[in-house]
Amino acid sequence: MNCEICNGNGWFKQANYQLEIMEWVQCYDCLAQEKYLEELTEKTAKLINKSSAEKLSLLLAKYCVNKIESERLETMLNEKNFVGLMSFLEVNIRSE
Ligand SMILES: [Zn+2]
């Protein structure tokens, strides 16, 4: 869903009649939407925070099992590749 004002760029060109130039202006619709989503994220995180680390770990583990090829996951586990697993989660959950 692209913004009608800035076409999803976050900025758009607008005429400045005083200086007689076109200038880039930040799109306040998108800025407001971004801020709103940030607030939603914070509120959601606060609620999820009531859960236990074990429960969250299990939830994320299920996600990994569903998304990563078993053989590759096994290798990561055998190598105790924590950094690799965490970056997999970060990249994939963000792009969902
Ligand atoms: Zn916009």
- Each residue's pLDDT tens digit, 20-54: 999 999 999 999 999 999 999 999 999 999 999 99
Band of the pLDDT at 1, cuts 50, 70, 90? low
Band of the pLDDT at 95, cuts 50, 70, 90? confident
CA–centroid distance, residue 71 to ligand 1 (Å): 43
CA–centroid distance, residue 9 to ligand 1 (Å): 7
Closest CA to 23 of 33, 10, 13, 38: 13
pLDDT at 31: 94
Closest CA to 7 of 29, 32, 34, 38: 29
Between the two ends of the chain, the Cα-to-Cα distance in Å is: 15
94, pLDDT greater than 90: no
pTM: 0.68
CA–centroid distance, residue 14 to ligand 1 (Å): 13
pLDDT at 53: 95
CA–centroid distance, residue 34 to ligand 1 (Å): 10
Handedness of CA 53, 58, 88, 85 (dihedral sign): positive
Percent of the chain scoring above 90 in pLDDT = 94
CA–centroid distance, residue 11 to ligand 1 (Å): 7
- What single-letter DSSP state applies at residue 13? E
CA–centroid distance, residue 37 to ligand 1 (Å): 14
**Mean of per-residue pLDDT scores for the chain:** 94
Phi then psi for residue 61, to 5 deg, are -65, -40
